Structure 1
Amino acid sequence: MIRRLLAALAFIAAPVAAQDTPPPASVVVAFDRETVTPLIVEGLANKDTGRAVEANDPVRIASISKLVMALTALRLMDEGKVDLDRDVSDYLGWQVRSPYHPDAPVTLKHLLSHRAGLSDRAGYIIPLGESLQAKFADPAAWRDTAPPGEAAFEYANLGSPIVATALEAASGERYDRLVERLVFAPLGVKACLNWIGCGPEMEAHAVTLYRNTGEVARDAPEDLPPACTIPVTEGAECRLENYVPGSNASIFSPQGGVRIGMVDLAKIGQALFDTYGTEHFLSAKTQTMFLQAMISSANEVPPFGADAGFCGYALATYVLVDAPPCQDDLFMDKVERFGHGGEAYGLRSGLWIALGEGLSFAYFTTAVPPPSGEVETAASDPRETALIQRALDLAKHRSD
């Protein structure tokens, strides 16, 4: 159970050592209930312009976007518009079924916890102009496994487009606007999906993502608006004016397309500190359900553990622990944290909230080598691990 952090620590940004070649763009901020403080801010947001990265420069946070999606679903549940245990077919108006279990309903909870039996083999990006329903009718989108809810955990990005589209259908709102209304605006953060609605000021501070080999991977200046920033099928116009909510929210990249700065990402983390018995960002009932689901998943027997790459996973959230069969302790300080990590386009990122005493962190680093092909965990990349240890050392030094 999450308890109050004991005290706020005053930190200052770590100076970047003078060197001929700037380090990859990296930002780490520490936060507790009251404070958000940069610890590491270094590297270039864009190599061509030479612009140095700043603490709250927006960056594509990859799969942490799934946690934002889950929070949107929970907030919509508090409004009485969705039920996580209801068949998503009821919202969409067409049947979502595994070909291996045609009578078993698929729910938002199954999808948010990667227990619906989906597979990314068929791809998970459905451009504007293509059919989401057709994608889920493809047998390659499913695994021959147990029924949804009983299916073994397997991480699948494909679940996110169907969740986001169901949320649109239930609310009548476009997904990007729904996230803005329910998550970003209430918490006072500036963020967007696929640069839709971010505006020129945020675009001017965008962090360009580079691969470890040096080439641009994402979000170079020429890729930002007025360029098209959503996936569009060949021959279709890159226009959202006629988009119908509830048809194909894949275009907003709910699995990984949130752009946000680390200071603002930390504010989302602050909203998830223990609020039992109070009405806060989430209702007390919903907050309790959310945290209990996450903690219970961390205590499950396999499929979680080293072979799954996660130490429990529920409602787009998981726990970092170092206790067999789970050994995923990125921070190596024996503090259990929950949240979500991200890996894509040469970026590694994380939002990790302390369970009890300890500091919480939001961070990203760029130009990271691609995954090895083996199971990836939060602690599997040496660059990411070294960055976090630097941040912990800085925090300890400032608190002494």
Structure 2
Amino acid sequence: MFRKILATPLVALATCASAQEALPPAPATVVVAFDRDSIRPLIVEGEVDRETGRAVEANDPVRIASISKLIMALATLRLVDEGKVDLNADVSDYLGWHLRSPNFPDAKVTLAQLLSHRSGLRDNAGYVIPLGESLQAKLSDPKAWYADAPPGEAPFEYANLGSPVVATVLEAATGERFDHIMERTIFAPLEVEACLNWIGCSEEQIARAVVLYRDTGEVARDDAADLPPNCTIPVAEGVKCSLDNYVPGTNGSIFSPQGGVRIGMMDLAKIGQAFLPLNSEFLSESAQHEIAMHIVFNAPVRQEFFCEYGLAMHQIEVSDVECQDRLFSDGLARIGHAGEAYGLRSGLWYSRATNKGFAYFTTAVPPRQSAEDEGGFDPREIELMAKAQELIEAGR
């Protein structure tokens, strides 16, 4: 009898252990809160590498996807402050060749239009131009343009293709490679370690890379095969994977400016702090004015998700606008950008009313359910922000 009684909990324990073994590893997730003076991690959980079982740390570098566009916009504003570029100038003046929509040869294209997705560019012709191929040739393809209205009057259409154009314009205006521009104007001054497509990141930083997984458990990106010393940039067939002979101002697409920044959330929060209003130490009063004019006062888009957008910055939860952009539950409008790629969701959001914000990412998120489902935040993101706000309210 004693043996039978003892066997029951042993079987239960064995069954429980088997169930635990069957559970998939927790997705890597980090949420960081920041204000003008402080940065602190709120949620740090899950595994960054399921092969090794390595747990995520608060500042492990991760592909932040389209938040990269916002950082590029910040670099652009810094170059405006330096007098290197003008948001409203014809970008052809910098490129050295005539950039025009095929149907509207007299309409100029500007940095402000490109950053605000109002240039008429579309992703129908693709947006990745590998090393060894021509950005100029890509932009001569009529499929790359909205056909029925000129740049500046074309309707808002979120297009990744605009980012390689912006990066190439910044290179042409400065004579610097895009990754060097980002390091000089953003990363070094803010004392963050970040890079594009792993170019320029230290060996220690690369060793802490967050592997991106799909919800099925399949590796999506940034495992060992995607890291140096392997090639980390898009390269045309038969072309050597080397930037030694790259000429700045010819093809900024190789740095993936639309989504290729790798950075940890503690460091991303430092970039968030730089956007806070009246941060004159980093952004001039003129640059802050440009942000306010393009985002706060003059950015109506009225799409389901992108209701207020300008200069690669997205304003969400504006009280008088019906939009599928609800992420928080406090009713405050916030400015920032979302990221979505390879099973990852990420965000950098700050409130002008409170001078507080969040930087976050989470991995292994299920894909959208249909091709028509192009907007809105994933339920997991909404739950994360609710949990983060609860932790703050609890004094954590």
Fold-level similarity (TM above 0.5)? yes
Deviations 1:137-194 (A, max 9, x none): 0111111132111110000000000100000000000000010000000001000000
For residues 373 and 175 of structure 2, what CA distance do their matches in structure 1 show?
A: 38
Deviations 1:320-350 (A, max 9, x none): 1143333412012111110101001100000
Deviations 1:208-242 (A, max 9, x none): 00111111111002320000000000000000011
For residues 353 and 331 of structure 1, what CA distance do their matches in structure 2 show?
A: 11
Match for residue 6 of structure 1? Answer: none
For residues 227 and 22 of structure 1, what CA distance do their matches in structure 2 show?
A: 27
SS at match of 1:120: coil
Query: Aligned match of 1:130 in 128, 133, 155?
Result: 133
Contact 2:307 2:321 in 1 (8 A): no
Match for residue 261 of structure 2? Answer: 258
Matched, 1:89 2:92: yes
Match for residue 234 of structure 1? Answer: 237
For residues 352 and 286 of structure 2, what CA distance do their matches in structure 1 show?
A: 19
Residue 288 of structure 1: how far off its partner (Å)? 1.5
Matched, 1:312 2:313: no
Deviations 1:93-134 (A, max 9, x none): 111111121110100111000001111011000000000000
TM-score (norm 1): 0.91
For residues 201 and 381 of structure 2, what CA distance do their matches in structure 1 show?
A: 28
1:377 corresponds to which letter in structure 2? Answer: G
SS at match of 2:359: strand
Count of residues in Structure 1 that have an aligned counterpart in Structure 2: 374
Residue 23 of structure 1: how far off its partner (Å)? 1.4
Contact 1:131 1:248 in 2 (8 A): yes
Query: Aligned match of 2:374 in 369, 373, 376?
Result: 376
Residue 370 of structure 1: how far off its partner (Å)? 1.7
For residues 375 and 21 of structure 1, what CA distance do their matches in structure 2 show?
A: 27
1:312 corresponds to which letter in structure 2? Answer: E
Match for residue 35 of structure 1? Answer: 38
For residues 141 and 96 of structure 1, what CA distance do their matches in structure 2 show?
A: 12
Contact 2:172 2:249 in 1 (8 A): yes
For residues 282 and 75 of structure 2, what CA distance do their matches in structure 1 show?
A: 11
Larger-Rg structure: 2
Contact 2:339 2:347 in 1 (8 A): yes
Match for residue 347 of structure 1? Answer: 344
Contact 2:25 2:50 in 1 (8 A): no
SS at match of 2:308: coil
Matched, 1:295 2:296: yes
Contact 2:69 2:259 in 1 (8 A): yes
SS at match of 1:239: coil
Residue 265 of structure 1: how far off its partner (Å)? 0.2
Alignment CA distance shift 1:279-1:333 (3 Å): closer
**Gap regions ≥5 residues in structure 2:** 1-19
For residues 297 and 207 of structure 1, what CA distance do their matches in structure 2 show?
A: 37
For residues 204 and 338 of structure 1, what CA distance do their matches in structure 2 show?
A: 32
SS at match of 1:186: coil
Query: Aligned match of 2:360 in 359, 363, 367?
Result: 363
2:218 corresponds to which letter in structure 1? Answer: E
Query: Aligned match of 2:228 in 225, 230, 241?
Result: 225
For residues 357 and 162 of structure 1, what CA distance do their matches in structure 2 show?
A: 34
Identity among equivalent positions (%) equals: 63
For residues 382 and 211 of structure 1, what CA distance do their matches in structure 2 show?
A: 16
2:372 corresponds to which letter in structure 1? Answer: E
For residues 323 and 211 of structure 1, what CA distance do their matches in structure 2 show?
A: 36
Residue 355 of structure 1: how far off its partner (Å)? 1.9
1:29 corresponds to which letter in structure 2? Answer: V
Contact 2:276 2:355 in 1 (8 A): no
Contact 1:44 1:50 in 2 (8 A): yes
**Gap regions ≥5 residues in structure 1:** 1-17
SS at match of 2:37: coil
SS at match of 1:181: helix
RMSD after superposition: 1.5
Match for residue 392 of structure 2? Answer: 395
Query: Aligned match of 1:170 in 170, 173, 181?
Result: 173
TM-score (norm 2): 0.92
Greater helix share, structure number: 2
Match for residue 283 of structure 1? Answer: 284
1:221 corresponds to which letter in structure 2? Answer: A
Match for residue 153 of structure 2? Answer: 150
Matched, 1:267 2:265: no
For residues 376 and 25 of structure 1, what CA distance do their matches in structure 2 show?
A: 24
Q: How does 1:89-108 map to 2 (within 5 A)?
A: 89-108=92-111
SS at match of 1:326: coil
SS at match of 2:44: strand
Q: How does 1:181-260 map to 2 (within 5 A)?
A: 181-260=184-263
Matched, 1:80 2:83: yes
Q: Which stretch of structure 1 is more off in the superposition, 314-323 or 360-369?
A: 314-323
